[in-house]
Chains A and B, each alone.
Chain A
Amino acid sequence: MDKNFLIIENISKSFGENKVLENINLNISKSEFFGLLGSSGSGKTTLLRILGGFEKPDTGRVILDGVDITNLEPFDRPLNYMFQSYALFPHLNVFNNLAFGIKEHYTQKEIEINVKNIAELLSIEKLLNRRIKQLSGGEQQRVALGRCLIKKPKLLLLDEPLAALDKKLRSKTQLELTTLQKKLKITFVFVTHDQEEAMSLSDRMAIMKNGLILECSSPEEIYENPKSLYTANFIGIANIIEIYKKDANFYSDDLGINFKLNKELKNTKTNILLRPEKIKIQSINNLKKSSFNSFYGEIIEKSYLGSFTRYEIKVNNKIISVLDQNFNSNSNYNFPKGEKVICSWESESIKILED
């Protein structure tokens, strides 16, 4: 596998005074499904548009499959871009939208075969004579995808590919998109603001903030071991607790308890992350709290979410979120509001945040 299929090198971009991207470096492998995740204004769409050739970077280079494409026009790049709005041509039917990019290079017969194949792949063969306005959102998304894939691009760029779909269709399309990508082995780079979408689609993903890449890794790695406070908060639910060295142990003023870590700490003071599903919640009457990694708290909020229940537990003045799985043998899953409970966790569940 070519680890340096797409190289993004020192890319910077400003719009007037506004610095949108600062020294971005990324290496993306061949056939990788790569996500750029960030809130609005993070620069993720600008980076994607630079890859597509719609914006020119102020500095840096983009190298695709060994070729420097930084100064190529969009129509000279061996890649395609799927727009968030899909940008389908309203004056053409589905067939001609699909055939738009190959009309110049193929004969009529070849065009028909190619369109038929791509329509079968995306199961839209019954829609070929329809007008774009007669299509549902999901169908439009398929046509937009097909219009790109028919060109057999080396790289497909997708701007918020699922944002325009309703929730139910989104999870179905998510699965189809990953299956399709694995089948075709085309490199996909997509942009999203939705962390769930990024986690479920990406092989690897980059978290962007204010024109910088904070972290770049697999979704599991980013969720379990985030490096920064921002990432920890951005992905999933996070309990962030400040601890400092006190005697042999670590102590949190907020919770008023001791922490035991299984790692050495460089600083004397740091933020730690405790994911809500790592915390065990137990009834107070049959147990006594351990001297570390455990606290007494009171349930102040509870939301039953079907497969699990989310509790907000108050300890001193801090509120800690806990997710508890609702399996039948778990006699704990029905804590009422106001109940006093013991919360505890393993040392390895504590993740130290670097900044």
Chain B
Amino acid sequence: MKNKSFEKYFVFTPYFWLVLFFLIPLAIIFKISISVSEWGMPPYQDIFLFDNGIKINTTFENYIYIFSDYYYIGSFVNSLILALISTFFCLFIGFPLAFYIATSNIRLRNILLVLVVIPFWSSFLLRVYAWKIILQNNGILNVILLNLGITSEPLQLLYNQYAVIMGIVYTYLPLMILPLYGYLNKFDLNLIEASKDLGLNRFKTFFKVILPLSVPGIIAGSLLVFIPVVGEFIIPEMLGGSDRLYYGKILWEEFFVNRNWPGASALAFSGIIILVLPIVIFQILYSRWSQKNEI
């Protein structure tokens, strides 16, 4: 009986978590974003001033500033495009892998799953740095290409957007594979055989049966890759060139280089709203739709 009342509070744990680590920080960011900036520590004024009663000291100038400058909007668009391309490649590579893992026998499956997770055991920074070494002008890849006579001079593999996409796909692939695997694991393989038995070849079976039934797993994996990649800062910084600016890098610079906390907060807050709002709406619509269709 005692447990019952305990359970009641236990239910609120995720909400507690959400409030403590998402809503409160978000509120703080919002507060800073509408503050007036100044030179000092912290580099912004309080929003409430207490000389001669209470005076509210807020401004939306930071928002007007970032939305009127293409520098910020453009970098956000760059990040969205980067996230879209990377998510697509992760899905393209991750889906067959996840499907193969999910349908292989239990021993092989466990080995493959460990292989997918192993990169997480080493530092993220080191792994990205390793790519830098592989791709640099006198790196392993260029040495091999030169020795095989495929190129006569070292290729510029580093410091461009291709290197960035490659690095992101490499880093985020497990985040695509694991939720997809979790979903495909429950896939009834008889459905594939039934489809073939009814006359559909492998290609058609994939598009008529496997893909439609994997939609929830694809959505989960894609969101898990897409959202963090939009804010990704380290990989474009280390592998990318100066030709393209990304949202995460701009944010970093605004905070730590320009010490413009209100401006950076406005940028961060806008980014979260622009990203999260459509996803929340989409999730609500999708769950309604799938409930109606009982998938």
Contact = CB atoms under 8 A, between A and B. Distances in A.
- Pair from one complex: yes
B7 interface: no
A90 B294 CA distance: 8
A104 interface: yes
Interface centre among A54, A75, A90 (most CB of B within 10 A): A75
Interface string A37-64: 0000000000000001110000000000
Q: Name A's interface SS.
A: loop
Contacts of B204: 104
Name the interface size band of chain A. Answer: 20 to 34
A80 B201 CA distance: 14
A151 B199 contact: yes
User: Which interface residue of B191, B194, B195 has the most chain A CB atoms within 10 A?
Assistant: B194
B294 A74 contact: no
Nearest to B213: A91
Nearest to B293: A131
A234 interface: no
Interface in A108-156: 131, 133-134, 147-148, 151
A89 interface: yes
Contact of A91 (B190, B198, B212): B212
Interface in A208-233: none
Interface string A97-109: 0001100100000
Residue of B195, B196, B199, B295 with most chain A CB atoms under a 10 A cut-off: B199
Interface in B204-244: 204, 208-209, 212-213
A262 interface: no
B66 interface: no
Given A85-B190, A133-B294, A75 B197 contact: yes
B197 A81 contact: yes
B51 interface: no
A150 B72 CA distance: 60
A18 to B, nearest CB: 14
Contacts of B208: 100
Nearest to A93: B293
Contact of B198 (A54, A80, A131): A80
Contacts of A52: 193, 197
A141 to B, nearest CB: 14
A147 B193 contact: no
Contact of A75 (B190, B201, B213): B201
B50 to A, nearest CB: 62
B157 interface: no
B295 A101 contact: no
Interface in B109-138: none
A101 B195 CA distance: 8
A75 B200 contact: yes
A80 B195 CA distance: 10
5 contacts: A54-B193, A81-B194, A89-B194, A101-B199, A147-B198
